[in-house]
Amino acid sequence: MTTPFPFTAVVGQDDLRLALLLNAVSPAVGGVLVRGEKGTAKSTAVRALSALLPEVAVVPGCRFSCDPASPDPSCPDGPHEAGLGAHRPARMVELPVGASEDRLVGALDIERALAEGVKAFEPGLLADAHRGILYVDEVNLLHDHLVDLLLDAAAMGASYVEREGVSVRHAARFLLVGTMNPEEGELRPQLLDRFGLTVEVAASREPDQRVEVVRRRLAYDDDPAGFAARWAGEEAAVRQRIVAARELLPQVRLGDGALRQIAATCAAFEVDGMRADIVMARTATALAAWAGRTDVLAEDVRQAALLALPHRRRRNPFDAPGLDEDKLDRTLEEFSGESPDDDPDPDGPGGGGGGPAPDAGPQGGGDTGARPEEGDGGEPQPSGAGAGEQPAARAAEPFRTKALSVPGIGEGAAGRRSRARTEHGRTTGARRPRGALTKLHLAATVQAAAPHQRARGRSGPGLVIRRDDLRQAAREGREGNLVLFVVDASGSMAARQRMSAVKGAVLSLLLDAYQRRDKVGLVTFRGSAADVALPPTSSVDAAAARLESLPTGGRTPLAAGLLKAHEVLRVERLRDPARRALVVVVTDGRATGGPEPVALAGRAARLFAAEQVASVVVDCESGPVRLGLAGQLAAELGGTAVTLDELRADAIAGLVKDVQGTSRRAA
């Protein structure tokens, strides 16, 4: 067995270590979500924690780790009689990103259940993690329905597996730890809220601390056992402190004053629902037990807020994470009911005071007052770096967009945009199973078995079902797509003061892509070339940040933009062939950059049509006289064109409202 890196040897990361320890003391806190860049000891700290947890007593031979002192009465391996059991170390179970639902919750053998009446259940990772740690690295890349399943199990302390009326329940109480790199995409707010605590981690910028990290890591790699032995004393002390805090936890008193501070803090930061209040109460109680106290103090409430609230304040993916600590202190002082001398100590237990950074305000976007000069005789001509470039304009207020989708039926990752054959969705038919049967189509199975009953010796009621009769349900749901934005940033867009509206439209489409579980990419073209401003990614907030700082100016190399987008799609198709693409070209349709710009743009567009790539042109042309070039481009792409106004989901409703209002005034 590999010797884990000692928990007490992790340099810095005080908030991360404290959050993990609080969950070890009180699993009811609800787990930890660790957000941070790669190489910041996230995985190391989680694996190290498992070695600190006390051993657990289990019923010998039970695959579900039942406690011999109080065995689960509904355990599939039961019933068990209470008594002495064997002891084993607490487990840390890792859930891989590509895991299936059956791997997570377990698999019921439907074939044996139907044919033999045997409830044959193979436990999944939730059963393995019972009374230990379930670790999900890159939890933001996990399918949403799997995240829902494991969070439901963590909240209820049990896992349920149901297949065609046959159900199995088993206990599943574990410390849930998820790690993620925000650059790879965010978790959705409803899933963020299900994690009890969150911690932002980053590599230290202090040279001395970085030196110590490298020194300890090299020493560990040279001699893991010897390095662990040097920290054995500190590890034993922390392990004993966890045991003592667990024993003290039931005696901790959460007074009305602390509860009032918790409620006031959650109200002041406008968090949704009541889960934040409950998590803060449990966290503050665990903090008091960890400090060896039986009373919850204001410093416990403050530290609980820093750990439990930042991720619950985000209403959309573009909100900056963090908590305003000055506002937190003012709220706690206002509702303290005690003298100002009792202010929370920022250096509280666990090396506190180091919560996430306060709100930093909007990112990017310079002075939006600057506008292109009117009457400049057309597009600025590029003449070196920055020539003809206009200051970046801020995006207009985002709006709800009309639904855009890819025609046909795909088989990509689960999402909410285009039709697809999926494991979850409405049943559209039946087929013979390919491999293990997962979703039984009962009617089709009965229909397949019925003609053979006399040959199988069945003359009375009942049905003899054999393996060849089983039919898998074919389901149709929705998939996520790659939405590749190709944005015209030339002078023709800026000179008419339209870039603010254009950015607002693209930002609206990015929000739509976030809600529909898409990947996004951003190609821009201006001057004499096109650039990949953002390679395809799941991080729509990264796309929004690039969009915000997008400069404009120069000619319109439309052909270069389309060819660059075509290359991006070619590479992405090799990486993820099942994910279909939707190309959104945001332009007025002009082509002025390079030799024979119009002819080259037409040939580039016809490449997309030949490959049947779904495309939409957002027509940004304005003014009383319009050339209709965007519509021509859409025809050559084999796609459709919409104006900025038509892109709004409420465009038709607004038109109807205007007509009704006119009719009432006329009457």
Would you list the DSSP string of 509-556? HHHHHHHTT-EEEEEEEETTEEEEEEEEES-HHHHHHHHHT--B-S--
What is the C-alpha to C-alpha distance for residues 75 and 66, in angstroms, rounded to an integer?
Answer: 8
Q: What per-residue string of b and e applies to 233-265 under the rule 16 or more CB within 10 Å gives b? A: eebeebbebbeebbebbeebebeebbbebbbbb
Nearest to 144 by CA among 108, 190, 182, 113: 190
Whether residue 524 contacts residue 489, with contact meaning beta carbons closer than 8 Å, is answered with: yes
Q: Of 352, 250, 246, which is closest to residue 301 (Cα–Cα)?
A: 352
Pairing of strands 92-94, 472-479: unpaired
Strands (E) in 322-432, as ranges, are 414-431
- The three-class DSSP label of residue 422 is strand
Q: With residue 325 as reference, give the H or E element that holds it.
A: helix 325-334
406: burial class by Cβ within 10 Å (0-12, 13-18, 19+)? buried
User: Structure tokens of 504?
Assistant: 């607002």
Q: Is 478 a catalytic residue?
A: no
Distance between CA atoms of 417 and 515, rounded to whole angstroms?
A: 9
Q: Write out the H or E segment, with its range, that includes residue 476.
A: strand 472-479
φ, ψ (nearest 5 deg) of residue 621: -70, 140
Sign of dihedral through CA atoms 181, 186, 191, 193? positive
Cα–Cα dist 601/592, whole Å: 10
Residue of 251, 242, 245, 528 whose CA lies nearest to 384: 528
Residue 86 forms beta bridges with which residues? 58
Cβ(414)–Cβ(143) under 8 Å?
A: yes
Q: Which of 216, 260, 275, 419 is the catalytic position?
A: 275
Angle (CA) 95-100-104 rounded to 5° is: 50
Local structure of 197: helix, strand or coil: strand
Interatomic CA distance for residues 304 and 2, integer angstroms:
34
CB atoms within 10 A of CB 420: 24
Catalytic residue numbers read 275
